Amino acid sequence: MAVDVNGVELQSGDSIVVIKDLKLKGSKNSVKQGTKAKIRLTKNDNEVECKLDKLGTVILKTEFIRKA
């Protein structure tokens, strides 16, 4: 069961908001605080997958997102 930073359960298709600026490994780009996206759950409960404009598919840790 994946949960966000506030302990709210996440489901595939939920909208989330990034709560902190995140640097991406292997890239000069970063994900800015306040970025909104729809998620897809992964096999790992503390990670979710989402598609971001100009960055493509990114895997984010649930400790850096909250449900919108």
Would residue 8 count as lying in a domain?
no
| pLDDT tens, position by position, 3-62 | 999 999 999 999 999 999 999 988 898 999 999 999 999 999 999 999 998 889 999 999
- Distance CA(32)–CA(17), nearest Å, equals 10
Domain range for 35? 14-67
Both tokens of residue 59?
């895997």
Q: What is the pLDDT of residue 44?
A: 95
Domain tally, the chain: 1
Q: What is the pLDDT of residue 68?
A: 92
pTM, full prediction: 0.88
pLDDT for position 63 = 95
Phi, psi of 56 (to 5 degrees): 85, -150
CATH number at residue 59: 2.30.30.40
The single-letter code of the amino acid at 25 is K
Flag whether 6 is in a domain.
Answer: no
Does 4 fall in a domain? no
Rounded to whole angstroms, what are the CA distances from 59 to 3, 15, 31, 38? Answer: 15, 14, 11, 12
